[in-house]
């Protein structure tokens, strides 16, 4: 193939491939996704206003440049005007052009300022729904403060999520339509950022500080986002999945979550003596969702920040020390307190850790042991 043919055909094939890719993956659009609320729509409108103005200016500038290149080319015998700067336009363009630019800027800024005030000023309504969002390395915790429900949301494995790898979670953030929702953002460790494009806003979650914003969803659907702040090695494994449902379906979901919580509490507080196999099976599942992000599924950790549990002094030493660090955490490290887990969950996790990866201590910790250690 000649050089000129290669030079022309390759870009055409690339463009054709991009068109086909866009057909196969419809979510890779050329614009922001459809907003899911009035606040998000206002932000989207500002974006479209800005892009419209920019497009018009781009066309005008390109037209002038192309015209000038064509008609003022040397091959036409055009002689450059050496006194253009002394003309009326040559003098006043230094004033006219900046004024026009500022006019465009103020047109956008005035609308943007109005929308930003709406974003920052959370409505002071009594019936607004409060949702606390806590970022962790590397998962999200959602507290429905008005409903007594707490949800932990973690990324699914590649096998579980399939084509939605790094875009799907085990527990979605379920929210009702037609209800003003106030988000209270914070973090348990490092900076994170809560971002779902259909909700429009992106808000930082900062340790020891609470930031807030709000939204009122106007349509049902599933919206996917992610952490937008570089928060560590597993930053990419902090997706967010929001499921917007009707108020009736949301009330039903809240009842289901409370029933699960009551059943779990009753199971944990029972006087049942659990077998080693039962505790290990339950502990493995809990460990893989709550502990594996730092200490790895293989128990080898990510030294030096996250020490291994395989063959460690904690997992093979005195049970009292193991209980203490799980219940209280370790000051000055990323190891947080897991006292929010019930007695059965902690007993299962510790039993698993003391018998997995070749630790083989044979120890069995019962919920009563955890209750006593508290």
Which pLDDT tens digits describe the chain residue by residue (374 residues)? 444 444 444 444 455 454 444 443 445 567 888 899 888 898 888 888 888 888 998 999 999 999 988 888 888 888 887 887 888 888 888 888 889 888 888 888 888 888 888 888 888 888 899 999 999 888 999 999 999 899 999 998 888 888 999 999 999 999 999 999 999 999 988 899 999 989 878 899 999 899 999 999 999 999 999 999 998 888 998 999 999 999 999 999 999 999 888 887 777 777 778 889 989 998 898 888 888 878 888 999 888 878 899 999 988 989 998 999 898 888 877 787 887 788 888 999 999 999 999 998 988 988 888 888 87
Long-range contacts formed by 342-345: CB under 8 A, 24+ apart: 342/264, 342/265, 342/268, 342/269, 342/367, 343/268, 343/269, 343/367, 343/368, 343/370, 343/371, 343/374, 344/264, 344/267, 344/268, 344/274, 344/282, 344/370, 345/268, 345/282, 345/286
Question: In what order do the strands lie in the sheet containing 221-227?
Answer: 173-176, 239-245, 221-227, 192-195, 202-205
Calculate the CA 81 to chain-centre distance: 57
Q: With contact defined as beta carbons under 8 Å apart, do 251 and 326 qualify? A: no
State the architecture of 271-373 in CATH terms: Orthogonal Bundle (1.10)
Beta bridge partners of 140: 135, 153
Annotation: CATH topology of 129-265? Immunoglobulin-like (2.60.40)
The 10 Å Cβ neighbour count of residue 98 is: 10
């Amino acid at each position: 193939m000649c050089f000129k043919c290669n030079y022309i055909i390759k870009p055409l094939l690339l463009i054709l491939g991009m068109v086909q890719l866009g057909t196969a993956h419809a979510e890779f659009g050329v614009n922001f996704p459809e907003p899911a609320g009035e606040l998000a729509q206002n932000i989207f409108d500002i974006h479209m206003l800005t892009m419209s103005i920019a497009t018009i200016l781009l066309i005008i500038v390109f037209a002038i440049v192309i015209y000038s290149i064509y008609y003022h080319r040397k091959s036409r015998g055009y002689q450059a005007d050496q006194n253009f700067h002394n003309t009326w336009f040559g003098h006043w363009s230094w004033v006219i052009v900046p004024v026009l630019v500022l006019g465009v800027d103020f047109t956008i800024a005035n609308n943007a300022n109005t929308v930003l005030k709406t974003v920052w000023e959370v409505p002071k309504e009594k019936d607004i729904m409060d949702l606390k969002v806590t970022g962790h390395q590397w998962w999200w915790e959602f507290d429905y403060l008005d409903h007594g429900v707490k949800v932990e949301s973690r990324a699914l494995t590649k096998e579980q999520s399939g084509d939605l790898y790094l875009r799907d979670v085990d527990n979605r953030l379920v929210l009702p339509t037609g209800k003003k929702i106030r988000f209270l953002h914070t973090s348990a460790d490092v900076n994170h950022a809560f971002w779902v494009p259909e909700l429009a806003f992106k808000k930082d979650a900062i340790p020891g500080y609470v930031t807030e914003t709000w939204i009122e969803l106007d349509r049902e659907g599933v919206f996917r986002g992610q952490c937008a702040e570089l928060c560590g090695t597993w930053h990419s494994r902090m997706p967010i999945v929001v499921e917007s449902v009707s108020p009736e379906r949301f009330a039903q979901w809240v009842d289901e979550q409370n029933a699960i919580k009551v059943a779990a509490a009753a199971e944990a507080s029972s006087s049942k003596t659990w077998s080693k196999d039962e505790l290990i099976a339950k502990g493995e599942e809990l460990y893989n969702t709550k502990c594996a992000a730092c200490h790895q599924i293989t128990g080898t950790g990510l030294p030096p920040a996250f020490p291994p549990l395989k063959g460690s002094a904690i997992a093979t030493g005195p049970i009292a020390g193991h209980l203490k660090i799980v219940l209280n955490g370790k000051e000055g490290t990323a190891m947080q307190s897991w006292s929010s887990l019930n007695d059965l969950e902690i007993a299962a996790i510790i039993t698993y850790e003391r018998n997995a990866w070749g630790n083989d201590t044979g120890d069995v910790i019962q919920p009563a042991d955890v209750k006593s250690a508290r």
